[in-house]
């Protein structure tokens, strides 16, 4: 995974996700466009595409988009706490279903 450099963070993508999940970094301060642009620039520099790394990026990116949308949208009435592990499992299930 390439290093991501944005004003609020510098480091690997999985660490960015961990900091956001632990509420050590505010997702609304993160430009997901910039993160994606940097990742794609790093992929273009390589001679081949690592499918596993690409799948990891897609999974982490999907979770970041989900977390950012939740942070930006008002909560629905009566909405309870959603287990983020369940969201991760749902994303994996959706990716596996898509591959079929």
- Give me the residue spans of the domains in the chain: 3-99
In angstroms, the CA 96 to CA 100 distance is 7
Percent of the chain with pLDDT over 70: 88
Report helix, strand or coil for 12: strand
Put simply, whether the predicted model's pTM sits higher than 0.75 gets the answer: no
58 closest CA partner among 95, 30, 31: 95
pLDDT tens per residue, range 53-94? 888 889 999 999 999 999 998 877 766 556 666 777 787 787
């Amino acid at each position: 995974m390439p290093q991501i450099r944005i004003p609020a963070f510098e480091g690997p993508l999985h660490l960015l996700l961990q900091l956001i999940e632990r509420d050590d970094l505010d997702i609304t301060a993160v430009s997901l466009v910039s993160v994606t642009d940097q990742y794609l620039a790093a992929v273009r520099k390589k001679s081949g595409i690592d499918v596993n790394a690409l799948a990891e990026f897609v999974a982490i990116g999907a979770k970041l988009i989900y977390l950012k949308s939740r942070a930006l949208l008002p909560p629905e009435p009566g909405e309870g706490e959603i287990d983020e592990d369940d969201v991760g499992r749902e994303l994996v299930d959706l990716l596996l279903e898509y591959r079929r």
